[in-house]
Chain A
Amino acid sequence: MKLLVRGGRLVDPAAGRDGRFDVLIEGGVVASVAAEIAPPAGCEVVDATGLVVTPGLIDMHVHLREPGHEYKETIRTGTAAAAAGGFTSVACMANTAPVNDERAVTEFIVTEAARHGFARVHPVGAISKGMAGEQLTEMGEMAAAGAVAFSDDGRPVVDTELMRRALLYAQHFGRPILQHAQDLFLSGNGVMHEGEWSTRLGLPGIPGLAEEVMVARDLLLLAETGGRYHVMHLSTARCLELVREGKRRGLGVTCEVTPHHLLLTDQAVADTTFSTNVKMNPPLRSEADRQALLAGLADGTVDALASDHAPHHADEKDVEFSAAPFGIVGLETMVSLGLDRLVRPGVIGLGRFVELLTAGPARILGLETGTLAPGRPGDLTLLALDREVTVDPATFRSKGRNTPFAGWKLRGAPVGTILGGVPVRLP
């Protein structure tokens, strides 16, 4: 099976390409990338004229909810949402039921994802058994089954000794530790950012310090242990500064930020009159934090954009703010939000945006995808920069409708993905 993607503008930052290139895929892998490729006999041709072609986009932080919470999302609906949102790869977190803390669960996820074929799924294994923060998991077994990283996401690793051991042990398998950085004592029963708006609304706050204290601690550990440490959904200015400083000192530290932390602030809780669709963890932060994150995107401190796609059932979110679960969906809005609110106003260039969704996460997770070179997987995403869309949760492929971006009019959208040389067709 051969596929030629012809006539588009290829943006592949890792390969240093931005221009008119054709991509030929054979047997699922890239055969060649060149200014003009004549279609070989029996080759399917995708006309990408007027479109931007990128290496298949990667969302390194999603919750697919299966096994255990299929009423929120399944691997099938979650990967369909990924494909609809322009992603060919996702990394899914371990907080399922049962927790992905052993090989059998990792294998189930990989097998189930392969059965549907909408996107590649890279499981993230738990750091501790049952995510209970006590005993290390069999990381070697899970890595052999396809786990690309380890994280107790949703439950920060509070036990300092466990974090130290995890940073050491994961090095045997070349895998990073992904931390949901939050000091649970400082965050307490908080439900939004601690600042002027929590004061006004009388809601218990989660101070930025809760995240910063944890990252500072972890970086001290990292300097001793070596290995690789990644801050998930980084949300504060000081946290970014800690990561920047860590990189300067040569530590193996990386970080990701989410579109919602880049585009919204804690004021949204007041502006939406306590909408539970602006409740997530870490919470939307201050405008100063938001500005710092935007600067971190531009100056290279931030390594990846990730959605923290967290579907919940409508009934779970239709409750009082304090009682609602944290999290919003993001797979089907991230690309348009980025193109319209980051690239179009010039916060970052298109190349940098693509890097944050391809080479950036691929490097962190050790994936072969993320750039198009002969022998690499034939995963591509097609983008239409001028397509106007209005975010409409009713059209989501995800089971989750919990988004604060409903009704946003955005210019720029994904129009298709190609997975291992096969155009993905959603039912």
Chain B
Amino acid sequence: MNAESWHRKDLLGIADLSPEEIRLILDTAESFREVAERPIKKVPTLRGKTVINLFFESSTRTRSSFEIAEKRLSADNMNFSTSGSALEKGESLVDTALNLEAMSPDLVVIRHRAPGVPHLLAARLRSGVINAGDGAHEHPTQALLDAFTIRRHKGRLDGLTVTIVGDIEHSRVVRSNIHLLTKMGSRVRVAGPRTMLPPALEALGVEVHTELEPAIAGADVVMMLRIQLERMNRKLFPSSREYFQRFALTRERLGAAREDAIVMHPGPMNRGVEIASDVADGPQSVILEQVAAGVAVRMAVLYLLSGVREEEG
């Protein structure tokens, strides 16, 4: 598959992508990666295209990653976030989207706390829609940048064992990663406290663990998830102290993984809660590479969805 055979208007989730489409995005991202290494980090690929970043939920890294990707592609971009917006004045989501559409953007990047919002908008808008995270449902560009990072280190996705640890129930990162990695032939294990494991996870094709050590044993990749401290109020865990004791990735526990295992985290990290600082900053950590990969992957997605079909300029 090549860019010419890409026909999707939107990127709503990994669940409906084929392995070929995933591979195309990752390969395209490889070609955009070197832009960041140039003295002038800009290509004219999306010149004259307008991208709206519509963030209904606070986000620093995903939004800035999209913004940088858009700017490096020479797109005109505009940010729209909730505070002071029409939504706070009682306008419906659909009305807000239709108003933006009237300004004829080419692409809309959306983050919202409710699952399905990008799908609702995609069905209404002529513009392409990119899901930048919808509640606990999907975060496709995160899974793509994770896969990109893994592939750079391991040379492949097929046959790897990837362990994801944390609040599985409330994580969109997990869902998108499970879909992507299982489609690409990795074995996926998930682990977390019993209170943070949703029902029927096995139906998604993963191994489910409730203890950290056996979940990590022999893994090629260990991905730690951010624990949202406000979840303590929802009876999911009693304290960050006890969470750290049972589920944090420490140097000692990482020893159970393969020697060449890499450590990942979608950020932002709670040091000393889900991950010990010496692991986060240690030699096996690829956490900052993930951030760099995010820009390349988002450039690839923006390029493919924009319909521009010239080779990178």
* Chain B residues near A195 (CB-CB < 8 A): 199-200
Is A323 among interface residues, defined by CB-CB distance under 8 A? yes
Is A196 among interface residues, defined by CB-CB distance under 8 A? yes
* Chain B residues near A236 (CB-CB < 8 A): none
User: Residues of A within 8 Å of B, CB-based: how many?
Assistant: 19
* Chain B residues near A198 (CB-CB < 8 A): 198-199
Provide the bound-state CA to CA distance between A105 and B203, in Å.
50
Provide the bound-state CA to CA distance between A93 and B114, in Å.
30
When A201-B115, A321-B115 are in contact, do A315 and B200 touch as well, CB less than 8 Å? Answer: no
Provide the bound-state CA to CA distance between A315 and B114, in Å.
18
A322 and B200 form a contact (CB under 8 A): no
B199 and A194 form a contact (CB under 8 A): yes
When A273-B116, A320-B114, A321-B116 are in contact, do A203 and B135 touch as well, CB less than 8 Å? Answer: yes
A274 and B116 form a contact (CB under 8 A): yes
- A273, closest chain B residue (CB): B119
Within 8 A of A (CB), among B76-134: 92-94, 112-117, 119-120, 123, 134
Q: What is the 8 Å Cβ interface bit string for chain A, positions 307-333, against chain B (1 contact, 0 not)?
A: 000000001001111110000000000
Provide the bound-state CA to CA distance between A199 and B137, in Å.
8
A199 and B135 form a contact (CB under 8 A): no
User: Residues of B within 8 Å of A, CB-based: how many?
Assistant: 28
B115 and A202 form a contact (CB under 8 A): yes
Provide the bound-state CA to CA distance between A319 and B199, in Å.
27
Q: How far is the CB of A325 from chain B (nearest CB, A)?
A: 13
Is B138 among interface residues, defined by CB-CB distance under 8 A? yes
- A207, closest chain B residue (CB): B199
Is A200 among interface residues, defined by CB-CB distance under 8 A? yes
When A195-B199, A322-B114 are in contact, do A200 and B204 touch as well, CB less than 8 Å? Answer: yes
* Chain A residues near B199 (CB-CB < 8 A): 194-196, 198-199, 205
Q: How far is the CB of B56 from chain A (nearest CB, A)?
A: 10
Provide the bound-state CA to CA distance between A80 and B112, in Å.
40
When A274-B119, A320-B117 are in contact, do A202 and B203 touch as well, CB less than 8 Å? Answer: no
A202 and B136 form a contact (CB under 8 A): yes
When A274-B115, A320-B116, A322-B114 are in contact, do A199 and B92 touch as well, CB less than 8 Å? Answer: no
A202 and B175 form a contact (CB under 8 A): yes
* Chain A residues near B169 (CB-CB < 8 A): 199
A202 and B172 form a contact (CB under 8 A): yes
Within 8 A of B (CB), among A167-210: 194-196, 198-203, 205
Is B292 among interface residues, defined by CB-CB distance under 8 A? no
Checking B94, B120, B200 against A196 with a beta-carbon cut-off of 8 angstroms, the contacting residue is B200
Within 8 A of A (CB), among B253-302: none
Is B232 among interface residues, defined by CB-CB distance under 8 A? no
When A315-B92, A320-B93 are in contact, do A200 and B175 touch as well, CB less than 8 Å? Answer: yes
Q: How far is the CB of B33 from chain A (nearest CB, A)?
A: 30
A202 and B137 form a contact (CB under 8 A): yes
* Chain A residues near B203 (CB-CB < 8 A): 196, 199-200
Is B229 among interface residues, defined by CB-CB distance under 8 A? no
* Chain A residues near B137 (CB-CB < 8 A): 201-203
Is B201 among interface residues, defined by CB-CB distance under 8 A? yes
* Chain B residues near A203 (CB-CB < 8 A): 115-116, 135-137
Provide the bound-state CA to CA distance between A322 and B204, in Å.
23
Provide the bound-state CA to CA distance between A319 and B170, in Å.
22
* Chain B residues near A319 (CB-CB < 8 A): 92-94
Q: What is the 8 Å Cβ interface bit string for chain A, positions 13-35, against chain B (1 contact, 0 not)?
A: 00000000000000000000000
Q: How far is the CB of B102 from chain A (nearest CB, A)?
A: 18
Q: How far is the CB of A269 from chain B (nearest CB, A)?
A: 9
B120 and A320 form a contact (CB under 8 A): yes
* Chain A residues near B112 (CB-CB < 8 A): 320
Provide the bound-state CA to CA distance between A203 and B201, in Å.
14
Provide the bound-state CA to CA distance between A315 and B136, in Å.
25
A→B interface (CB under 8 Å): 194-196, 198-203, 205, 273-274, 315, 318-323
In the complex, the 8 A-B pairs of residues with the closest C-beta atoms, listed nearest first: A274-B116, A202-B136, A202-B137, A196-B200, A320-B114, A199-B198, A322-B114, A196-B203
12 additional A-B pairs beyond A320-B117, A322-B135, beta carbons within 8 Å, are A194-B198, A194-B199, A199-B169, A199-B201, A199-B204, A201-B137, A205-B198, A273-B123, A319-B94, A320-B93, A321-B114, A322-B113
Cβ contacts A to B, 14 pairs, < 8 Å = A195-B199, A196-B199, A201-B116, A202-B115, A203-B115, A203-B136, A205-B199, A274-B120, A318-B94, A321-B114, A322-B116, A322-B135, A323-B93, A323-B114
